[in-house]
Amino acid sequence: MPPKQIKGEYIETDTGNKVSRKSVILGSQNIILGGKTIIQADCTIRGDLRRTVAPGQQSGNVAIAVGRYCFLSRSSVLRPPGKTHRGLYSYYPMKIGDHVFVGEGTVVEAALIGSYVHIGKDCGKFTIIKDCVRIEEGTVIAPNTVIPSFSVVAGRPGVVVDELPETAVEGLELKNIYRTI
Amino acid sequence: MAPFPTIHISCPCNDSISIAPSKSSASRKAPEHDDPEESDMTFDPGSARSNFSLFPLENLLYCEDCNQIRCPRCVHDEIVCYFCPNCLFEVPSSTVKTEGNRCTRNCFSCPICFASLSVTAADESSTSTSPYILLCPHCFWSSAEIGISFEKPTSITAQLAAKLKLPSLQPSSSSASSFSTPTESYFPASASSTTPTIASVETTLTPEEMYARLKTHYATQRAGSGTDEFGTSPGALSRLMGLYSSTLSGSKRTFGTSLGVGKQTAKQKPDWHEYEHVQPTHDESTLINKMRTVGFTGTTSSQQRIIQPHHPLFTSQLRPLAALLRTKRSKRCRACRHILVKPESKVTTTRFRIKLVAMNYIPALTISLLDPTSVSYHSLTPLNTHQFLLTVTNPLFDPINVTLATPQRTPGRFPTEVTILCPDFEVGANTDVWDEALASAGATSGAPTGVQGSQGKSRRTGKKTGNTGTVWDAGRNWTTVVIEIVPPLIPVEGGDSDAEGEKKITELDRIVQIPVCVRVEYETELEREDSLSALSGREQKEKREHTYWSVLGLGRIGKFGGVKSSEGSDTLGSMDSMPTRPMGRPSSYSVNKPSAGPGLGVDAFGASGMGAAAAVAAAVRGGRKA
Amino acid sequence: MATHAPITPTPSNRSAFPMRTSSLNPANPLTSSRSAASTILQSYTTPSGTAVGGASSGGLYLHHSEDPLIFEIGSRLLRAGFANEGIPRCELEWTKEVFWSREGCVWSTDGEGRGELWRGDLRSVEMGVVEDVVERGVRMAYNKYLLLDSKLKRVIVVIPACFPTTLLTSLAKSFFVHFQMPGIMLLESPIMSCIAAGTRSALVLDLGWEEAVINIVYELRVVGRGGARGRSRRGGRVLRGMWGEFLEAEVEKSGMKGKVGEREVEEVLSRVGWCRGFGEETVASGNDSTIDIPLSTTTPPTKLKLAFCRLSEPAEKTFFARTTAPSISPDYPDDDDFPIPQLVYEALEDSPIDVRAACMQRIIIVGGGSLVPGLKKRIVDEVRSLVETAGWEKGQRRDKKNHVPQAPASDLELLKIVETKPEFQLHSEDEGEMTEEENYEWHAPPGGLSPGVPGREKKPGIGGPKVKGLESLGAWVGASLVAGMKGRGNIEVEREKFLSTVAGGGSGFPFGF
């Protein structure tokens, strides 16, 4: 659990998000924070990397959607995944559920992260992580991997090494962390 | 996850299952303890079996009918549904087994690094009907390396099976039906019985082919014999399993005569023949030559090999691994058969219909250092007193009485001295989330009004003094007490070799593990109809009690450096003589007191305090024994 | 048994296994009245008794249409799968940390004593731990690979011949207590290896982890264990030790220091270890290729460059050297440490002549040690050469002396499931023995597979049979075949009976097993 921060380090939004003044948030108009989410110092959120569309066409303008009670530790990076499709490099929106903990220095390029997910480090492109997943520190998940619920993932590349007990939701909930900040 | 501190709970099922034979192991361990009677009771976290009975609270379930904790070992799993972890499709249970418990869509994992493979066009640039391959996005292994590409990006499993000519599990997995047509050969062309093939030509038979042939062979043998009244053919089996009844007539190769059984059996069954195409020992020189050429990197690691059904020696023989299905399981209490956990059957949901987890029934323990700045968990100073805060949080909606008992010295070769300053205390009731929200808006610290009720004693409110018999701090549904330990001095390896030093000092010796017997008592309302309780006017109360062992992993003993050398040697001497001395004497560690954490009123808990705490602990133990 | 009754299977289960509920019904008179274990007991105590009913109409195992599960449990591996399948569904190594560590603990990785599930010296084995680890392994097999509800399946356990009863009790306890199986059927692995090779008689050499064991199987019974020299410590552990020494010497030669971890040694030996063929030159030819072996457990991690031919040295030392112990005179044999081919030869020599005739053509080598490429053929070739040079003089003499008149045996007796002692069964032959032998001879075309010269095997007293080796698919597959034919094993144990005997301090198994 991070130590209590100095008051004033965070900007609190109307919905209770606490965003560090030292974080780097690009393209904030394309970012949705669900509320009560904490973004620590030196985080980078690349909302500017949104879908490239043919001119004249209107695309959805959300690049990153984050749910409630998420916690982005220091120096973590949220970056929408991108790939070349039909000769055109484009970014795809990234959706993160509630109670998602992103560890220090982690680069998240997942396509979808469910709720109650704990990420120690590094998550590959277009990964889909379902609810109730714990990703151990130092794990590198290969692109396009799907991680089912109640999994513990570790290794390089990350493979499911264990199953979480039924209490995963309780164990991974982040309400208490929010209170400490 | 930080490695320390750890809190484990010993599931009581361990006692009930070890029946008589465990006596021998207990007697073997007995000399390690001072008091054999005590050794029966104290849970030894260092014992070899402890690893198997200890679980974190999160992994434990709770059976309401038995009023018992249930660990993953004492429940029965029942499968609710099968699904592929990769494509998340549910697989009907009827097809699961025949498909080898694996996904039959396009889900494969890399045979090299086990990441999931993706289907990609072999040539990215060409748009038309280029072949497709399975490509590992992590290590870039591709099915092209074993010479396999696919015509279309769908139903890869079928294509792969056709390409590898994997004998599907179909003929082998259907049991009775395959036997009803035993003459139908698995390899119709080559294995028909009329053309006996010479074994030497077929040294290249794969195990699968060999198995299929053997199976056909045995099935033919079996078909020749009659069946008994039960529709099965024990006669054939009997012969197989050493109960052959041989006949001399009609059989070329019987050799039961020397056993004197050469009479007639009742039914004149033909004898069981040996298989015609037994395989002589393989000449593996080609293998060796291949090893020579491909080198170390061309061979499979043991991990890669064992996961493949055919155990290939070379990476060139690896096959993509079809994703193993996963299951959602419900769990039943082994004793009373009640369902403890029942997940919703939909694959993607994480909800449960029934979820009786121990977290909601027994108090949670948490440990923290009283003074985090003084020491770290990884280097506890030997022979110094360390204080930890042990917080007991009550998940129940009734206040609980908690009694903690611990051996004064932990079991093991290098005992740690333990004292819980306030072993007997009360923890307030839990309240609803809504109440919690209201309460947290108000007072910040401890002592909410109603919940303690009449039973609230003066020591319920913590004063954060280290006084014996008082709690450190308390809140609405939690109470914190101080636990003191004095880690032992572990001799430097290779130093003086006394009698104990025969065994090498292991890492386990350096870990401070405190067994704590937690006893929880509370009164709860009997569950009954609302009308009934209204009629009776007063709600019926029932007294309940849980007792279980918990193990606190408090840290690792570091180097002995905090105390001056003269003092160190002094205490070392006293350590040696410890086993003969009654425990709980303050003199045994009074030397170390000055170096205790600064945040605590060291003087406040003196000799008397220690003694009192120890006495309470002893009393608890005595009570248990009686 | 009553515990099974109240379960109402979930709909999916019901559709999957329609036969189960009825077949496991404790009210079934067949299963309850005829207890397999008691049959066994009876047949043990009264070898000439009339327990035909139990044997011919069967007990627990004959009346289920569903395939049982097969577990093969060794000190290093657990194999699990379904009967009637050609390969086990999973193979789990007991060395994996997950079987030993405390749940949710990072620091409990001690690494000591985690090499195998049990050791040969059972005094150092805590039976409770064996029970616990087996529980974890079996549970993992169920939940991850077999995907089954545990209690509803019948189970066949393949165990080595001559398995310690205490261990067996631990295994059975683990199955019965934790998984509540109704019954367990035990099959002996040498016999299963024979069945998986397609023969009825064979000399089964199991190059196991702990030791190499010879079992002589004749007509699907273990009739001998090679006499006093039927076992040797030359197994997987010695091989690993040899490799460890070999690698460490090489590391030192290359100027580095450091021990190579046991796991890494195992890894290296399983990847590049091999065995020279019989009579192959020990000295490398000059243009032999070299192999790079990366080592990570040494400090610093290094790469060894070794001539390929040298990688056969450890296997040579382990299985063929005069002695495996460090010795100043390595060319002189130890009194109880013989090369494997010598053991095989002596086991054959010790056998009665007809058994020998059958078995020498059917040498089956199984076990982890047999995975070393080239080893199986080498052993068979060496045994052949021994036989060709030494003949069977000793055995013949003995046979004549020990001629025992044959006891009349009834058909009834033979229908029972009895494992008779070798002496009982192997009274010697009459004069028709030679023709029997001819009948039994190997039917492969002459001049076939073996490089041995066909003209040389004419030894006095020995007619045709030559030493030959057979490939076996292994004990697990054998058990799968047997179970597929609804075969029954020597021992079936029922849960209730077992637990009550164990609670009473017994082993839970019939005496003499």
- CA C184, CA B508: separation in Å to the nearest integer? 37
Phi, psi of C193 (to 5 degrees): -65, -40
Q: Which of A61, B533, B349, B209 is nearest to C86 (CA)?
A: B209
Q: What is the pLDDT of residues B252-290, one digit of tens each?
A: 333 333 333 333 333 333 445 666 667 777 778 888 888
- Please state the rounded mean pLDDT for residues C130-159: 85
Q: What is the pLDDT of residues C16-60, one digit of tens each?
A: 333 333 333 333 333 333 333 333 333 333 333 323 233 333 334
Contacts of C272 in chain B (CB under 8 A): 291, 295-296, 299
How is residue C505 annotated by DSSP? T
C-beta of residue C154 within 8 angstroms of C-beta of residue C114 = no
Q: What is the pLDDT of residues B15-54, one digit of tens each?
A: 544 433 333 333 333 333 333 333 446 788 877 788 888 8
C-beta of residue B489 within 8 angstroms of C-beta of residue B572 = yes
pLDDT of residue B266: 34
Q: Which of A72, B254, B48 is nearest to C117 (CA)?
A: B48
Search chain B and give the residue with CA nearest C220: B242
Contacts of A150 in chain B (CB under 8 A): 350
C-beta of residue C412 within 8 angstroms of C-beta of residue C50 = yes
Q: What is the pLDDT of residues C354-410, one digit of tens each?
A: 888 888 888 999 998 888 999 999 999 999 998 888 887 654 444 443 444 444 444
Share the mean pLDDT of chain C. Answer: 71
Work out the minimum CA distance from A3 to partner chain B, whole angstroms. Answer: 12
CA distances from C475 to B49, C73, C88, C481 (A): 30, 10, 11, 10
Return the axis-axis angle of helices C36-45 and C495-503, rounded to nearest 10°: 60
Search chain B and give the residue with CA nearest A148: B85
Q: Which of B94, B234, B279 sits opposite C15 (nearest CB)?
A: B94
Contacts of C84 in chain B (CB under 8 A): 172-175, 178, 215
Q: Select the highest-mean-pLDDT range: B457-466, C143-152, C302-311, C428-437.
A: C302-311
Structure tokens at C297: 């457990």
For residue C305, is pLDDT > 70? yes
Share the mean pLDDT of chain B. Answer: 68
Q: Is A149 in CB contact (< 8 Å) with chain B?
A: yes
Tell which C residues from 1 to 20 touch B, by Cβ distance under 8 Å: 3, 6-7, 10, 12-13, 15-16
Q: Report the relative pairing of strands B364-369 and B118-121 from DSSP bridges.
A: unpaired
Contacts of B83 in chain A (CB under 8 A): 148
**R_g of chain A, CA atoms, integer Å:** 16
pLDDT of residue C457: 39
Search chain A and give the residue with CA nearest B140: A142
Q: For residue A157, say if its preceding peptide bond is cis, omega within 30 degrees of 0.
A: yes
Q: Which of B331, B362, B354 is nearest to B11 (CA)?
A: B362
Q: Is C431 in CB contact (< 8 Å) with chain B?
A: no
Q: Is C220 in CB contact (< 8 Å) with chain B?
A: yes
* Residues 6+ positions from B433 with CB-CB distance below 8 Å: none
For residue C439, is pLDDT > 90? no
SS3 B139: coil
SS3 per residue for B343-359: ECCCCCCCCEEEECEHH
pLDDT of residue C205: 92
Which residue reads 């929200």 in tokens?
B437
Q: What is the pLDDT of residues B349-398, one digit of tens each?
A: 888 999 999 989 999 999 988 887 777 888 888 888 888 999 999 998 88
Q: Which of B61, B116, B348 sits opposite A145 (nearest CB)?
A: B116
Q: Which of B58, B115, B343 sits opposite A145 (nearest CB)?
A: B115
C-beta of residue B532 within 8 angstroms of C-beta of residue B498 = no
Q: What is the pLDDT of residues B158-187, one digit of tens each?
A: 888 888 765 444 333 333 333 333 333 333
For residue B450, is pLDDT > 60? no
Q: Which of B58, B118, B350 sits opposite A165 (nearest CB)?
A: B58
Using a 10 angstrom Cβ sphere, with 0-12 exposed, 13-18 middle and 19 or more buried, the burial of residue B427 is buried
Work out the minimum CA distance from B137 to partner chain A, whole angstroms. Answer: 6
Q: What is the pLDDT of residues B204-228, one digit of tens each?
A: 567 778 888 888 887 776 655 443 3
- CA B421, CA B473: separation in Å to the nearest integer? 12
Tell me if B175 and C83 make a contact (CB, 8 A cut-off): yes
Phi, psi of C55 (to 5 degrees): -80, -40
Q: Which of C410, A72, C386 is nearest to B260 (CA)?
A: C410
Share the mean pLDDT of chain A. Answer: 85
pLDDT of residue B176: 35
Tell me if C145 and B101 make a contact (CB, 8 A cut-off): yes
Tell me if C199 and B278 make a contact (CB, 8 A cut-off): yes
* Residues 6+ positions from C177 with CB-CB distance below 8 Å: B17, C499
Q: What percent of chain B lies above the pLDDT cut of 70?
A: 58
C-beta of residue C168 within 8 angstroms of C-beta of residue C207 = no
Structure tokens at C456: 């040389």
- CA B120, CA B599: separation in Å to the nearest integer? 63
Contacts of B17 in chain C (CB under 8 A): 173, 177-178
pLDDT of residue C434: 37
The HSE-up count of residue A34 (CA atoms within 13 Å, CB side) is 14
Q: Between these two residues, B246 and C216, which has the higher pLDDT value? A: C216
How is residue B46 annotated by DSSP? T
Q: What is the pLDDT of residues B582-598, one digit of tens each?
A: 333 333 333 333 333 33
Q: What is the pLDDT of residues B99-117, one digit of tens each?
A: 888 998 889 999 999 999 9
Work out the minimum CA distance from B424 to partner chain A, whole angstroms. Answer: 28
Search chain B and give the residue with CA nearest A138: B1
C-beta of residue A79 within 8 angstroms of C-beta of residue A64 = no
- CA C158, CA C366: separation in Å to the nearest integer? 14
β-strand partners of B513: B553
Work out the minimum CA distance from B568 to partner chain A, whole angstroms. Answer: 36
SS3 per residue for chain A: CCCCCCCCCEEECCCCCEEECCCEEECHHHEEEEECCEECCCCEEECCCCCCCCCCCCCCCCCEEEEECCEECCCCEECCCEEEECCEEEECCEEECCCEEECCCCEECCCEECCCEEECCCECCCCEECCCEEECCCCCCCCCCEECCCEEEECCCCEEEEECCCCHHHHHCCHHHHHHC
What amino acid is encoded at B420 in this protein?
Answer: I
pLDDT of residue B173: 35
Q: Between these two residues, C395 and B421, which has the higher pLDDT value? A: B421
Q: Between these two residues, B16 and B481, which has the higher pLDDT value? A: B481
Structure tokens at A120: 């120690």
Q: For residue C330, say if its preceding peptide bond is cis, omega within 30 degrees of 0.
A: no
Q: Select the highest-mean-pLDDT range: B427-441, B453-467, C499-513.
A: C499-513
pLDDT of residue B567: 37
Say what the pTM is.
0.77
SS3 per residue for B476-530: CCEEEEEEEEECCCCCCCCCCCCCHHHCCCCHHHHEEEEEEEEEEEEEEECCCCH
In chain C, what are the helix, strand and coil shares in percent, each to the nearest 5?
40, 15, 45
Q: Sheet of C183-188: strands edge to edge?
A: C90-93, C77-82, C69-73, C155-159, C183-188, C491-494
Tell me if B116 and A146 make a contact (CB, 8 A cut-off): yes
The HSE-up count of residue C444 (CA atoms within 13 Å, CB side) is 22
pLDDT of residue C148: 82
**R_g of chain C, CA atoms, integer Å:** 25
pLDDT of residue B466: 65
The ipTM (two decimal places) reads 0.88
Q: Is A138 in CB contact (< 8 Å) with chain B?
A: no
Q: Between these two residues, B35 and B97, which has the higher pLDDT value? A: B97
Q: What is the pLDDT of residues B527-564, one digit of tens each?
A: 654 555 455 555 567 888 888 899 998 888 887 654 43
Work out the minimum CA distance from B115 to partner chain C, whole angstroms. Answer: 17
The secondary element (H helix, E strand) that includes residue C41 is: helix C36-45
Contacts of B93 in chain C (CB under 8 A): 12-13, 15-16
For residue B622, is pLDDT > 80? no
Q: What percent of chain C lies above the pLDDT cut of 70?
A: 65
**What confidence category does residue C80 fall into, taking pLDDT thresholds of 50, 70 and 90?**
very high
Search chain B and give the residue with CA nearest A171: B58
- Please state the rounded mean pLDDT for residues A28-40: 90
pLDDT of residue B518: 92
pLDDT of residue A60: 64
pLDDT of residue B50: 83
Work out the minimum CA distance from C350 to partner chain B, whole angstroms. Answer: 18
* Residues 6+ positions from B530 with CB-CB distance below 8 Å: none
pLDDT of residue A150: 92
For residue C313, is pLDDT > 70? yes
- Please state the rounded mean pLDDT for residues C109-136: 77
Structure tokens at B337: 């058969």
pLDDT of residue B21: 36
